[in-house]
Structure 1
Amino acid sequence: MRPRTAWQAMARHPLRFLTSAWPWRSLGYLLSGVAVGAAAVLVLLAGTAAGVVLLVVLIGIAPLVGVVLAATVIASVERGRLRLVDLDEVPDPHRPPAEPGLRAWITHRLTEQATWRELGFALLSAVALWWLDLLVLGFCFVLPALCFASLDGDTWPWTVLGALVLLAAPYTVTAWAGARGALVRTLLAPRDRELGAELRELRASRVRLVDAFDAERVRIERDLHDGAQQRLVALGMTLGLLRLDVPPGSALDRGLTEAEGQLAAAHQELRTLVRGLNPPVLADHGLAAAVREQVGRFPFPVTVDLELPQRLPRPIETHTYYLISEAMTNIARHSGATTARIHGRYHADQLVLEITDDGRGGADPTGGSGLTGLADRLGAVDGRMRVSSPAGGPTLLHVEIPCHFG
């Protein structure tokens, strides 16, 4: 799957990363960051100074309002620049005003929370971010140049230091560019609270529905275990007692044998259903053990590589287990795969899963396939997924689920 961020590209393929466009994109991101930051300093200082000076004659409010609105322009430029190191789009959080006209537009912008957050970001960019960009660029390129300029017989250690710093520059530049991009996305991405109380209530109701479904699933599992399973066991014992009074080899004996076979098959199917509804191994031993037990019943080999620092929170663990189960069921039914792999790690407060198979490919998340159910389950826990499934395979399902311990 193609990396979506500079950090992903550097982490997945540290050597191949050097020959990709990501180091150059990161360098362009920092260079343009210096230019945008310097421009922000000039605009903010000039607007603020003009507003303070003119405030005594009551027209200084206009420059101050201009500073606030200029911050939204700076933020818009930052969202566009972010595509250099993060291919996922950052939507504009602003909404169109309810009424036409310049005055309505200005009033609407000044009452939006996004505007004031963008003003805070513009101040942060002017005060710190572009200086840090400049510092990183100076360390990576100016310092080696100074070391090389002092080349003579007595200063060769400085030359070696400069060479090492220059060789590490692609990683240094990309590391800071990735960190800066993550900060920009955090500060400038629209927040749910700005989308209104209706969206928040919709998300909360969806979570409540999923939780209610999980509680009902546990209840059904308990009822089946304590009710239907016990009745089947009792029925088996009754058939066994009846056999004592039946002549061996008779037609009735053969009928009892067939009935016992069907009863055993029904009992096994019910046990499999109960185990799938609420697997004891998940509660007792955690996600990795439960997934290994579950895929052990598949008709093809599945490699499970799940390494987690500790047990996940119970809701996340349960959601993840059923998500993996549903994904594997889709693979078994539709892909024609002969092997599959489940890889999972916990990184930066996120559970990252990658499920791959060597099937025929062509899975389409928008085509009403089983991927729709996966997306719905992920939505309840604020997760997201990406699918790469070219015709002919292989298929890769990449899942990210926010997860906080403690």
Structure 2
Amino acid sequence: MSEGEQRSGAVREALRAAPLRFPFTRWVPRCWAHLLGGALLGPLLLVVVAVLLVLGLGLSVAGVGLPVLLALTLLGIPAAALARWRLRLVEPLPLPDPHRRLPGAGRRARIRTRLRERATWRELAHTVLASTVLAAASLGFTALLACSVLYTLSPLVVRALAPETVMLVPGHAVPGPLAALPFSAAGLVGLLLCAYAGALLVSAEVALARFLLAPREDDLGRRVVELTRSRARLADAFEAERRRIERDLHDGAQQQLVALSMTLGLAEYELRDQEGRAAELVTRARGEARQALEQLRDLVRGIHPQVLTDHGLAAAVAEVALRHPIPVATDIVLPERLPALVEATAYFTVTEALTNAAKHSGAGAITVHGRVAGGRLVVRVTDDGRGGADPAAGAGLAGLADRVALLRGRLMVTSPTGGPTTLRLEVPC
């Protein structure tokens, strides 16, 4: 379907493209079926709306009408879903559901969310119009179509009822089939009129449905805001869990290892004058405890280095560069401390890039450049290695890319064969 058809409707576009041939196209029976469905469903919907409204207002006097009025408010949701389904007869491109999906939400949460959505109230307005104005138009069209069909078939009707006199119009008797031919011609004109009238009515209903039942930019904007907030909550939860793990390791396992090392040192001191393997085993156990403590400290430092918390991104990257087996030149100049999530994301991205360079690149020098430009932190890590790096080949950057995406940032890797390899990180501050 072209962009113009999506904007104005398939029926209206077909009518514009070939107005003389339109009565003989497939859109005519589709339009008639759609309007006949409206003539049947509209009065039924009006009865339901009227009953719920009367019951809700009547029971409100006794203080128990709120659930009925709530049901009336939410009636627009299934009615709108039915209207969107009926539009498939005349619109090949379906109207999307403007409501947010709520998997796993309870009944109260669903109701509260639906009442807060503007689409719910637009659907209620469409339900009221569909049960009144649109239903009246469909009923009028149905009457015109029925009369046109009857007049078109009037010679057959007169012949079937002969020799009785048939009154096709008040005060005018038709004695035979030949006398009914003018009525048949009028019926054909009526059918032609119904083809164009049905197209215009359907076009108006489609335009109204697009205005009231389709998603709007403000709905999408609210979804984007909620998605951004959920991302921020997810990142905050990740950071809080990281701090909890770091605290547990530092205050729990690390302190216990320190105490164990001290206890083994005291045992070694007491056994220094005794013969046998006891002193040797205690000495070995103390060394293993010391080694485990160092490994645990490296693990805690890897989770979140203390220098990053105390002095910021530039100092933390400089410390990593000093310990790196390949010479690393750092040039990170920041106007002020950045948000903790931004600093942590940039730090772990740089450390992962340096680790990959040491393992796979064969580089002789690496540069790390960082600046804040346009409210975004831009960090580039470049090495003069052999190139050909593939981020999708398990280099560890996929998880970092997901973490960067949580902050609405970008992670790009350029690594032609022969080098150099450049990793570019952009994170909003």
| TM-score normalised over the length of structure 2 | 0.48
1:1-400 alignment runs, 5 A limit: 98=94, 195=220, 200-246=225-271, 247=273, 250-400=276-426
| RMSD value, Cα | 3.1
Task: Tell me the SS of whatever aligns to 1:244.
Answer: helix
Amino acid at match of 2:341: P
Deviates more, 1:270-279 or 1:321-330: 321-330
Shift of 1:286: 1.2
- Sort the Cα spacing of 1:370 and 1:102 in 2 relative to 1 into closer, same or farther, 3 A: farther
Task: Tell me the SS of whatever aligns to 1:312.
Answer: coil
Map Cα deviations across residues 32-70 of structure 1 (whole Å, 9 max, x no partner).
xxxxxxxxxxxxxxxxxxxxxxxxxxxxxxxxxxxxxxx
Give the match for residue 4 of structure 1. none
- Sort the Cα spacing of 1:222 and 1:384 in 2 relative to 1 into closer, same or farther, 3 A: same
- Sort the Cα spacing of 1:203 and 1:367 in 2 relative to 1 into closer, same or farther, 3 A: farther
Amino acid at match of 1:223: D
Shift of 1:269: 0.9
- Sort the Cα spacing of 1:252 and 1:325 in 2 relative to 1 into closer, same or farther, 3 A: same
C-alpha separation between the residues in 2 aligned to 1:229 and 1:241?
19
Shift of 1:338: 3.2
State whether residues 410 and 426 of structure 2, in contact with CA within 8 Å, keep that contact through their aligned partners in structure 1: yes
Give the match for residue 428 of structure 2. 402
| TM-score normalised over the length of structure 1 | 0.50
Task: Tell me the SS of whatever aligns to 1:296.
Answer: helix
- Sort the Cα spacing of 1:297 and 1:112 in 2 relative to 1 into closer, same or farther, 3 A: same
C-alpha separation between the residues in 2 aligned to 1:384 and 1:345?
15
Shift of 1:366: 4.2
Any unmatched runs of 5+ in structure 2? 1-91, 96-201
State whether residues 331 and 337 of structure 1, in contact with CA within 8 Å, keep that contact through their aligned partners in structure 2: yes
State whether residues 313 and 347 of structure 2, in contact with CA within 8 Å, keep that contact through their aligned partners in structure 1: yes
Give the match for residue 9 of structure 1. none
- Sort the Cα spacing of 1:248 and 1:266 in 2 relative to 1 into closer, same or farther, 3 A: same
Map Cα deviations across residues 215-268 of structure 1 (whole Å, 9 max, x no partner).
111111111111111111111111111112323674222222222221111111
Shift of 1:341: 1.2
Map Cα deviations across residues 179-238 of structure 1 (whole Å, 9 max, x no partner).
xxxxxxxxxxxxxx6756555544433332222111111111111111111111111111
C-alpha separation between the residues in 1 aligned to 2:401 and 2:347?
14
C-alpha separation between the residues in 2 aligned to 1:224 and 1:390?
42
C-alpha separation between the residues in 2 aligned to 1:372 and 1:102?
49
Shift of 1:336: 3.4
C-alpha separation between the residues in 2 aligned to 1:295 and 1:102?
68
Could you say which structure has the larger radius of gyration? 2
- Sort the Cα spacing of 1:292 and 1:105 in 2 relative to 1 into closer, same or farther, 3 A: farther
State whether residues 232 and 267 of structure 1, in contact with CA within 8 Å, keep that contact through their aligned partners in structure 2: yes
Amino acid at match of 1:224: L
Task: Tell me the SS of whatever aligns to 1:255.
Answer: helix
State whether residues 97 and 108 of structure 1, in contact with CA within 8 Å, keep that contact through their aligned partners in structure 2: no
- Sort the Cα spacing of 1:208 and 1:326 in 2 relative to 1 into closer, same or farther, 3 A: farther
State whether residues 327 and 374 of structure 1, in contact with CA within 8 Å, keep that contact through their aligned partners in structure 2: no
C-alpha separation between the residues in 1 aligned to 2:263 and 2:404?
47
State whether residues 360 and 394 of structure 1, in contact with CA within 8 Å, keep that contact through their aligned partners in structure 2: yes
Amino acid at match of 2:257: L
C-alpha separation between the residues in 2 aligned to 1:383 and 1:308?
18
Query: How much identity, in percent, do the aligned residues show?
Result: 51
Give the match for residue 164 of structure 1. none
Give the match for residue 39 of structure 1. none
State whether residues 346 and 352 of structure 1, in contact with CA within 8 Å, keep that contact through their aligned partners in structure 2: yes
- Sort the Cα spacing of 1:343 and 1:112 in 2 relative to 1 into closer, same or farther, 3 A: same
Map Cα deviations across residues 148-193 of structure 1 (whole Å, 9 max, x no partner).
xxxxxxxxxxxxxxxxxxxxxxxxxxxxxxxxxxxxxxxxxxxxx6
- Sort the Cα spacing of 1:350 and 1:232 in 2 relative to 1 into closer, same or farther, 3 A: same
C-alpha separation between the residues in 1 aligned to 2:380 and 2:290?
38
Task: Tell me the SS of whatever aligns to 2:413.
Answer: strand
- Sort the Cα spacing of 1:202 and 1:332 in 2 relative to 1 into closer, same or farther, 3 A: farther
Map Cα deviations across residues 325-377 of structure 1 (whole Å, 9 max, x no partner).
23323333333333211101111212111111123322224445422122111
Q: Report how many residues are paired.
A: 230
